[in-house]
Chain A
């Protein structure tokens, strides 16, 4: 007699979970207590063991929300029982969801190590009914598009959880209230009195308005945290000297920033999660690295990008940075040079700032703050020496980047600045 695989209750308040993935192909032999699938609640990830020995027959496809106690599959005792089951209850597709991305809520499987993908051949896909596709009425879809509401965020109350017009309307109303409560709001200014008068009244518009909106959006939508460290800049300085000594007079100089940009690109390749954005209920880990460098020439902050930073040489980057800075000063940057970045570097060292906590350049997920490079007493092998030090501050979105990962990235960057040969 086949045993049912049911979703375990992992806590008092747990009512449902996402069936994240099947870890064993359909039809495969499993032993008792072998891990067969992974589930995720809003708090934890959990691996579900097989209740007994036998042949796996999954009936719920990966990516779906499942109730506690819901049957997601069977363990058949033998081939005969497996084929009976296969006939009675079709095997659920177990591959990653396909289709238009806005129809799916679950993050795509990234094929992490230790998570063998179930081959499509061993688990024939069945027609999607419900599953991880969002079921919504056409009118509800139309309204959600018109109002910019994400269907993934809405709980459907129609048959089978269908999102209906009333659900979108109710959500839109709630979302509007929330947005009104949290939107950047300059309305409630301090009133002028006899004792307090404005010397100047500056309208918030243009670049100031954009900056205001982005800063507020960044802090209100992400869980930001800053890590601080310091690196030796002796090798950085040496490398800069080597380059600049050999440059033609008219070639843009290699600055500390130039090399920091390059080192950051190299480190981002090692830790791609720092080069990602949150898009609705998905994390988009970007394939390209486009590092933006914050610049301020007294007319508002701009962050032009260096496209495909990791593929460029230090001299290329020096040239581009110089060109961007020249044009930023003259307000000659193109809009597409200011958008579509994946990581930002901001340097306040020129104003004698050591450490600070920069705000992530939304919708990116991390930003590096570089402080003042200066000689400091440093203890090395029991002796105090004068070392050239560079402060580094990394702010990141803790929703998708864990502290340890961010620290590892920062360490990798520090290593490459202290020994620039590691960039090779």
Chain B
């Protein structure tokens, strides 16, 4: 089957279309879904095709998350749309104390196949309360899987695996990437959770990234190629479970690593990843692991200040210069 160039929104809608067609227990609930097909058009066509399986809810994330947990416990496969990932804070008890714990506390007697779908990220001038990247909170929470796709083809393959998984999955999609297009196969394919992708091979440095960080790395790698620095891009795609095997193979080749994410640096996923690299791959390293991320401040509303706070491709290149001693 052939690839088409489509957006991440379209890739998501297509994937959900296929899954809902396949499995009647799948339904989506959230705010303004039926009238708008999702704030980013991500569920386009679904309300018409699957009447009654796209449910508008009151504005209460605690309620929606709780419903998702309950529905999953009774054998459904709900997808909970958080509208903006920033509002996970309102559903935190349901996410962390219920969803993350129930399978373990029931001794595995019940499954919890629920996807918490969270549009995140900055760059849309949406200010501090609608621009955060909070994935590392959930990586810290045993019992949850965490998926952060970048390209449209990853969105399609990963959301299908997330929906089919019997565990609660946090699925973060960057708002700015919804309109971003890329080749997506018409096939009904899955990308397994916990498998990273080497998206560009290189020998001088490993760029470890996910979500919007991938595009920063792609831009930086192009610039670095002009300086004869050959960067390898490893798109992690899933943060938990983490594909250390692919990471290790890449670092064993390049001996240098730069971790790139949009989330702020302190306590970000890069900190965890850097710790694992130094622990497991110490002898492979020719330089300290560098991290690139947002500055440790709330995302400003001022466009100039927002741009200043967010990581750029130049920051990635600068980190690469540092670890390659060039």
Q: Chain A: residues with CB nearer than 8 A to chain B?
A: 137-142, 157-159, 164-166
In the complex, which residues of chain B have a beta carbon less than 8 angstroms from the beta carbon of A164? 286-287, 325
Q: Report the minimal beta-carbon distance from B276 to chain A, rounded to whole angstroms.
A: 15
Q: How far is the CA of A61 from the CA of B282 in the complex (A)?
A: 29
Among B240-276, those with CB < 8 Å from A are: 255
Q: Report the minimal beta-carbon distance from B179 to chain A, rounded to whole angstroms.
A: 41
For residue A142, which residue of chain B has the nearest CB? Answer: B283
Q: How far is the CA of A335 from the CA of B286 in the complex (A)?
A: 40
What are 13 A-to-B residue pairs whose CB atoms are below 8 Å?
Answer: A137-B285, A137-B287, A138-B282, A138-B284, A139-B283, A139-B285, A139-B286, A142-B283, A159-B325, A164-B286, A164-B287, A165-B286, A166-B325
Q: Report the minimal beta-carbon distance from B245 to chain A, rounded to whole angstroms.
A: 19
* Cβ 8 A contact of B284, one of A142, A157, A159: A142
Q: How far is the CA of A159 from the CA of B283 in the complex (A)?
A: 19
* Cβ 8 A contact of B255, one of A139, A157, A158: A139
Contacts A137-B287, A142-B284, A157-B325 known; 16 new A-B pairs at CB < 8 A: A137-B255, A137-B286, A138-B282, A138-B283, A138-B286, A139-B255, A139-B283, A140-B286, A142-B283, A158-B287, A159-B325, A164-B325, A165-B255, A165-B286, A166-B286, A166-B325
Q: Report the minimal beta-carbon distance from A159 to chain B, rounded to whole angstroms.
A: 7
Residue interface bits B272-310, CB-to-A below 8 A is 1, else 0 = 000000000011111100000000000000000000000
In the complex, which residues of chain B have a beta carbon less than 8 angstroms from the beta carbon of A137? 255, 285-287
Q: How far is the CA of A138 from the CA of B287 in the complex (A)?
A: 8
In the complex, which residues of chain A have a beta carbon less than 8 angstroms from the beta carbon of B286? 137-140, 164-166
Query: Is A158 in contact with B284, judged by CB distance below 8 angstroms?
Result: no
In the complex, which residues of chain A have a beta carbon less than 8 angstroms from the beta carbon of B282? 138
Among all A-B residue pairs, the 8 with the closest Cβ atoms: A139-B286, A165-B286, A137-B286, A142-B283, A139-B255, A138-B283, A138-B285, A138-B282
B interface secondary structure, majority: loop
Q: How far is the CA of A142 from the CA of B325 in the complex (A)?
A: 18
Q: How far is the CA of A4 from the CA of B163 in the complex (A)?
A: 71
Among A138, A140, A142, A157, residue most surrounded by chain B Cβ atoms (within 10 Å): A138
A interface secondary structure, majority: helix
For residue B284, which residue of chain A has the nearest CB? Answer: A139
For residue B326, which residue of chain A has the nearest CB? Answer: A166
In the complex, which residues of chain B have a beta carbon less than 8 angstroms from the beta carbon of A158? 287, 325
In the complex, which residues of chain A have a beta carbon less than 8 angstroms from the beta carbon of B255? 137, 139, 165
In the complex, which residues of chain A have a beta carbon less than 8 angstroms from the beta carbon of B283? 138-139, 141-142
Q: How far is the CA of A137 from the CA of B282 in the complex (A)?
A: 9
In the complex, which residues of chain B have a beta carbon less than 8 angstroms from the beta carbon of A157? 325
Q: How far is the CA of A138 from the CA of B251 in the complex (A)?
A: 13
For residue B252, which residue of chain A has the nearest CB? Answer: A139
In the complex, which residues of chain B have a beta carbon less than 8 angstroms from the beta carbon of A165? 255, 286
Q: Report the minimal beta-carbon distance from B81 to chain A, rounded to whole angstroms.
A: 45
For residue B322, which residue of chain A has the nearest CB? Answer: A159
In the complex, which residues of chain A have a beta carbon less than 8 angstroms from the beta carbon of B287? 137, 158, 164
In the complex, which residues of chain A have a beta carbon less than 8 angstroms from the beta carbon of B284? 138-139, 142
Among B190-215, those with CB < 8 Å from A are: none
Q: How far is the CA of A142 from the CA of B282 in the complex (A)?
A: 10
Q: How far is the CA of A188 from the CA of B284 in the complex (A)?
A: 40
Q: Report the minimal beta-carbon distance from B321 to chain A, rounded to whole angstroms.
A: 12
Among B9-58, those with CB < 8 Å from A are: none
Q: How far is the CA of A93 from the CA of B37 in the complex (A)?
A: 70
Q: Report the minimal beta-carbon distance from A35 to chain B, rounded to whole angstroms.
A: 40
Q: How far is the CA of A157 from the CA of B326 in the complex (A)?
A: 11
Q: Report the minimal beta-carbon distance from A139 to chain B, rounded to whole angstroms.
A: 4
Q: How far is the CA of A368 from the CA of B282 in the complex (A)?
A: 49
In the complex, which residues of chain B have a beta carbon less than 8 angstroms from the beta carbon of A159? 325
In the complex, which residues of chain A have a beta carbon less than 8 angstroms from the beta carbon of B285? 137-139
For residue A139, which residue of chain B has the nearest CB? Answer: B286
Q: Report the minimal beta-carbon distance from B248 to chain A, rounded to whole angstroms.
A: 13
Q: How far is the CA of A166 from the CA of B286 in the complex (A)?
A: 9
Q: Report the minimal beta-carbon distance from A16 to chain B, rounded to whole angstroms.
A: 22
Q: How far is the CA of A141 from the CA of B255 in the complex (A)?
A: 12
Q: How far is the CA of A166 from the CA of B283 in the complex (A)?
A: 15
For residue A165, which residue of chain B has the nearest CB? Answer: B286
Among A137, A142, A158, residue most surrounded by chain B Cβ atoms (within 10 Å): A137
Q: How far is the CA of A139 from the CA of B206 in the complex (A)?
A: 15
Q: Report the minimal beta-carbon distance from B139 to chain A, rounded to whole angstroms.
A: 26
Q: Report the minimal beta-carbon distance from B73 to chain A, rounded to whole angstroms.
A: 48
Q: Report the minimal beta-carbon distance from A217 to chain B, rounded to whole angstroms.
A: 30
Q: How far is the CA of A140 from the CA of B325 in the complex (A)?
A: 13
Q: Report the minimal beta-carbon distance from A167 to chain B, rounded to whole angstroms.
A: 10
In the complex, which residues of chain B have a beta carbon less than 8 angstroms from the beta carbon of A142? 283-284
For residue A159, which residue of chain B has the nearest CB? Answer: B325
Q: How far is the CA of A164 from the CA of B285 in the complex (A)?
A: 9
Q: How far is the CA of A209 from the CA of B178 in the complex (A)?
A: 71
Q: Report the minimal beta-carbon distance from A1 to chain B, rounded to whole angstroms.
A: 39
Q: How far is the CA of A164 from the CA of B282 in the complex (A)?
A: 14
For residue A136, which residue of chain B has the nearest CB? Answer: B286
Q: How far is the CA of A408 from the CA of B35 in the complex (A)?
A: 104
Q: How far is the CA of A142 from the CA of B284 in the complex (A)?
A: 8
Q: Report the minimal beta-carbon distance from A409 to chain B, rounded to whole angstroms.
A: 45
For residue A158, which residue of chain B has the nearest CB? Answer: B325
Q: How far is the CA of A149 from the CA of B284 in the complex (A)?
A: 17
Q: Report the minimal beta-carbon distance from B251 to chain A, rounded to whole angstroms.
A: 9
Q: How far is the CA of A417 from the CA of B285 in the complex (A)?
A: 60
Q: Report the minimal beta-carbon distance from B280 to chain A, rounded to whole angstroms.
A: 12
Q: Report the minimal beta-carbon distance from A171 to chain B, rounded to whole angstroms.
A: 14
Q: Report the minimal beta-carbon distance from A24 to chain B, rounded to whole angstroms.
A: 38
Q: How far is the CA of A158 from the CA of B286 in the complex (A)?
A: 10
Q: How far is the CA of A158 from the CA of B284 in the complex (A)?
A: 16
